[in-house]
């Protein structure tokens, strides 16, 4: 407040009160009084709320990073399916068919598994759907089965069969069966050519 204005207010106050009451200290000093909590600058107010805003933003980021249980479970199943496949092929067959398998067969298997597991997503029964951990060796067809761990019943069966069409050498036929028809129908996934010579046994090293 300017000096002349302060002096004028002091004089008016003295006249109005007949000099019986001293003017307020705010009018008698050049130093500004401390700001009350309600008079804090806009900067201070923004700063005080910034911590809450930042906490909210971090909370939102945490929610985004939180993994969906179904997606996590699905990825575990797909990873296990891949591992069981190459365990089935063994060290002798894998180097020959790996690239073609990853390009042609594996995506189809993953799509079948994804579609199947999605049927259980809403009621979270997908957690009861698990994958076997031991392919069949020798000439057996089993790669892995999907089953209900509570009942022990198979739901899907993924197999590979060695075929030898006339004058065509050996082929690996990939297919799966479902419980819906008692595992009777062959649902084709694709074929990979081996050679004219007899392939090694499954899981050979």
* Confidence at 167, pLDDT banded by 50, 70, 90: confident
Mean pLDDT of 127-135: 93
Say yes or no to pLDDT of 72 above 90.
Answer: yes
With a CB cutoff of 8 Å and minimum separation 6, the contacts of 8 are none
pLDDT, the chain, mean: 82
Greater pLDDT, 152 or 19: 152
Mean pLDDT of 165-191: 96
* Confidence at 21, pLDDT banded by 50, 70, 90: low
Comparing C-alpha atoms, which of 131, 151, 134, 154 is closest to residue 142? Answer: 134
Q: Give per-residue pLDDT as tens, 90-111.
A: 999 999 999 999 999 999 999 9
List the structure tokens of 191: 């074929």
Distance CA 162, CA 188 (A): 14
* Confidence at 123, pLDDT banded by 50, 70, 90: confident
pLDDT of residue 38: 46
How close are the terminal C-alpha atoms of the chain, in Å?
95
Mean pLDDT of 5-33: 58
Q: What share of the chain is helix, strand, coil (3-state, %, to 5)?
A: 50, 20, 30
pLDDT of residue 37: 46
Say yes or no to pLDDT of 41 above 50.
Answer: no
With a CB cutoff of 8 Å and minimum separation 6, the contacts of 197 are 169, 170
Mean pLDDT of 107-132: 92
Asked if 101 contacts 192 with a C-beta cutoff of 8 angstroms, the reply is yes
Say yes or no to pLDDT of 133 above 70.
Answer: yes
Q: What are phi and psi of 195, to 5 degrees?
A: 180, 175
Angle ∠(60,63,68) on CA atoms, nearest 5: 160
Q: Where are the alpha helices (DSSP H) in 18-175?
A: 25-28, 42-65, 69-100, 106-118
């Amino acid at each position: 407040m300017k000096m002349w204005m302060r002096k004028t207010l002091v004089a008016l106050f003295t006249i109005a009160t007949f000099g019986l009451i001293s003017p307020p200290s705010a009018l008698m000093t050049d130093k500004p009084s401390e700001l009350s909590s309600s008079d804090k600058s806009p900067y201070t107010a923004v700063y005080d709320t910034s911590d809450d805003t930042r906490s909210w933003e971090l909370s939102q980021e945490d929610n985004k990073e939180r993994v969906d249980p179904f997606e996590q479970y699905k990825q575990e199943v797909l990873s296990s399916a891949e591992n069981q496949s190459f365990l089935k092929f063994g060290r002798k067959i894998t180097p020959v068919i790996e690239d073609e398998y990853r390009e042609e067969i594996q995506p189809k298997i993953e799509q079948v598994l994804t579609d199947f597991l999605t049927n259980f997503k809403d009621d979270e029964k997908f957690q009861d759907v698990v994958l076997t951990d031991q392919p069949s060796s020798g000439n057996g067809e089993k790669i892995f089965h999907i089953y209900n761990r509570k009942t022990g019943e198979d739901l899907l069966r993924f197999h590979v069969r060695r075929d030898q069409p006339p004058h065509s050498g050996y082929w690996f036929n990939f297919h799966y069966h479902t419980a819906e028809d008692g595992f009777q129908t062959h649902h084709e996934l694709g074929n990979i050519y081996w050679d004219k010579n007899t392939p090694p046994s499954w899981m050979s090293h």
